[in-house]
Amino acid sequence: MEALDNQCPSCGAKITFNPKNQMWDCEYCGSKYTLEQMKQYQNASREEAHIPIKEETQKIENMDVYRCKNCGAEIMADETTTATFCVYCGSTAILKDKIMDEFLPTKLIPFKKVKEDAITAFQGLSKGRPLMPKFFNKKENIDKISGVYIPFWSYDLHVNGDIDFHAEDVTTWSDSDYEYTKTDRYLVKRNGSMNFQRILVDGSSHFPDDLMDSLEPFDYRDFVDYNHAYLSGFFAEKYDVKEEDAIDRANKRAMNTAVEVIEETVHHQSSHVSSNQLQVGKQKSDYVLLPVFMVNVKYKEKIYTFAMNGQTGEIVGNIPLDMMKTILFSLSLFILFFILAYLFLTMVV
């Protein structure tokens, strides 16, 4: 595969992917290109991207890897992108090397949001949160907001088999002398099968799974065949969780959903699973990249991660409390309550 060099076909200057118009913009001469034009000028299509990665090893060439000395994270970028800090821990101890012989993703969802959108969303977190530390809105933190393609494993799964439920209906009534309770118990049997497509599992150990799950859903209609031109101006982390190690989470998600859907067909007041013979089987797996804006803020020796879905704009993160603000706020409430109570007692007396 001949890799894109991410240079403008007209003037040779830096060219980056613009999420707003879904085109490649030249910052120097103002030219704009579609993906088809990029392929035409540079012969860098990834038409064979649908081939499962285990059946064919593809190389990523002309790409750089940035390794963090502090946390060990590895992120990829094209030659036009520079990294001066780690997007995971904020460290500036970054080593730059050429990356070779890495597996290519099969598909990705391009960014639809730009960095300015992420900055606005991040700054908006402080609205309605007076106890949030001011430190989080410092320019040094906002400048570190980066667009990163996060690696995911995508699974198509099949669930089939038998499942039994114990169910109950309770009826109560009374007369002039007694109250009565009648409990009807049932054994409800179900059998069937379900197909699940695109169950996503985070392929990075550096990104908390619960935080990544909170960024869903993604609109799968925006998936495109992988082409590293989409990485222009962004980072892309390498997966470090293998496909066979990530599938357990996908299986659990499929199983839990299957049980919930089947239990909805049990039309009784209460029910619980008594026997579960459902089996989960894999039909297909893909290595994909999903767009996320993220920033890690170190506050009082703890790392707080904030992330925004680069497609939908959904933002998540754990926000700490400023202890001094909390104490002053609590003290103010106490004083206010004391004054109101004193005034009330004075008026009564």
- Say whether both 212 and 313 belong to one domain: yes
- Say whether both 209 and 341 belong to one domain: no
What's the domain range around 343? Answer: 323-349
- Say whether both 73 and 204 belong to one domain: yes
- Say whether both 159 and 286 belong to one domain: yes
**Which residue from 251, 246, 274, 250 is spatially nearest to 262, judged by alpha carbons?**
274
- Say whether both 313 and 288 belong to one domain: yes
Structure tokens at 142: 């906002």
DSSP 105: P
Question: CA-CA distance, 300 to 280, in Å (whole number)?
Answer: 44
- Say whether both 100 and 215 belong to one domain: yes
Contact between 133 and 299 (Cβ < 8 Å): yes
Question: CA-CA distance, 135 to 33, in Å (whole number)?
Answer: 40
- Say whether both 124 and 150 belong to one domain: yes
Instruction: Tell me the β-bridge partners of 191.
Output: 162
Structure tokens at 125: 């977190």
- Say whether both 90 and 50 belong to one domain: yes
Total domain count for the chain? 2
Question: CA-CA distance, 268 to 109, in Å (whole number)?
Answer: 42
Digitized pLDDT (tens) for each residue of the chain, 349 residues in all: 233 346 787 887 778 889 999 998 888 888 898 888 887 775 344 444 333 434 333 445 556 777 777 777 777 766 555 555 677 666 655 556 655 545 678 999 999 999 999 988 888 776 766 666 676 677 777 878 889 888 999 999 999 999 999 999 999 999 989 999 999 999 999 999 999 999 999 998 877 788 888 899 999 999 999 887 888 778 888 788 999 999 999 999 999 999 999 999 999 999 999 999 999 999 999 999 999 998 877 777 777 788 899 999 998 877 765 556 666 656 676 777 777 776 777 776 5
In a domain, 173, yes or no: no
Question: CA-CA distance, 84 to 77, in Å (whole number)?
Answer: 12
In a domain, 268, yes or no: yes
- 200: which residues sit within 8 A by CB, 6+ positions away? 152, 153, 154, 216, 218, 250, 288, 290
In a domain, 27, yes or no: no
**From the CB of residue 191, how many other CB atoms can be counted at a distance below 10 Å?**
12
Question: CA-CA distance, 195 to 157, in Å (whole number)?
Answer: 6
In a domain, 71, yes or no: yes
pTM (predicted TM-score) = 0.74
Question: CA-CA distance, 301 to 214, in Å (whole number)?
Answer: 25
Its sign, for the CA torsion 215, 217, 222, 225, is: positive
- Say whether both 208 and 241 belong to one domain: yes
